[in-house]
A and B are shown apart, each in its own frame.
Chain A
Amino acid sequence: MDKQVIQSVGFRNIEENGEIVGFQLKIRLPYYRGVYLSQIRPGHLIVDGESFGENEIMWRVNGEDFTYADMRKDCTRHWHPMEPATLIVKKPGGLKQGFHDLTYGFCCTHSYMPPFMEALEDPDKPAVIYFREFGQNTNSRRLLIV
């Protein structure tokens, strides 16, 4: 696992029945403790300027796939900091060969911290109150598609 949130392993196009139907990348949870899926506040994935919203991204956690609607109400499945999640995006033709600039934003709720802190945070912007053990909301990386 890489220390960076966006992992170098796992970034590739997805092929189904001989067609490229989309792409995937992996992210790790940069928080010092794991979270239930309903605690995640996903933002946007930006790929070379093209934006994908939370409803266009499927999360794969521990081998199971979740839409954003599924995740919001799932407080029993847990995302562990040592198990990167896969983000799956539908995009006919996928991403072309070469470099891609990726930025993804997400944050989490913390029941033991005052609620105003969550209200301040926008998953698509750098943390207003930044703790290193909570990680940064937005993370970027430049990676290659073969």
Chain B
Amino acid sequence: MPTTTFRRPDWRAPSVLPGFGLTFGFTLAWLTLIVLIPLATIFLRSAGMGWHEFVAVGFSHRALAAYRLSFGTAAAAGLVNALFGLLVAWVLVRYSFPGKRVVSALVDLPFALPTAVAGIALTAIYAPTGWIGQYLEPLGIKVAFTPIGITIALVFIGLPFVVRSVEPVLADLGHDVEEAAATLGANRVQTFSQVIFPAIAPALVTGFALAFARGVGEYGSVIFISGNMPGKTEIAPLLIVTQLEQYAYAGATAIATVMMLVSFVILFGLNTWQAVRRRRLGA
């Protein structure tokens, strides 16, 4: 009778399934090589440059203007998406209309379309001679090469985050709570504002935060439409590229560090908030 002895590390629960050593080892090694070490270099570089230099290049006037622009336009686009993303999710979950499946599939277009393609397409539409730009120009409205153009690009990029966050929650909500509200005498507006909206608000916040984080770091779809004027329409990721092209590694590193910390803080805060909420609601 062949026997197998089970040797295993003490720290993991035993299992009859094989392959833990192989798959866990490979996962950890690949993760460390591809993600952890490269990401660590950026903090190592920042740490190596000293506080004064870090502040000088990471918070220069030009860098501050870039942060303001990146965070501001990402927030504006996030808000637009929160509003229209909720509308799109609502329409997709609640109503039926011809072509709904196509519309639903199309919502993911920004995930699938390369950002550079989106960038030149949006520019073709909103440039002063573009499809829509030519009608806005006589009215004195400039879209391309202004923060409005950047915001439009970020609306494009961020839309699916909001729709796909809200959709499942809205679908799960079920008709019964609304019916309960109706039997208790609530009208439609009251039902929406007091029953439905509070239930989907967390998903909306999540979608906003994801869209915002993505928008802050976005590059490809923005640089064509943004005009890239230092201090005016130069987003933070572009400033990193510019610094790199001028071999200003310290500047690029410091700005990248600031951006990374901000996005980690946002996502960490989001996770913590969700965990706390779940615990409080006992879900």
Pairing of A with B: no
Chain A contact residues, CB within 8 Å of chain B: none
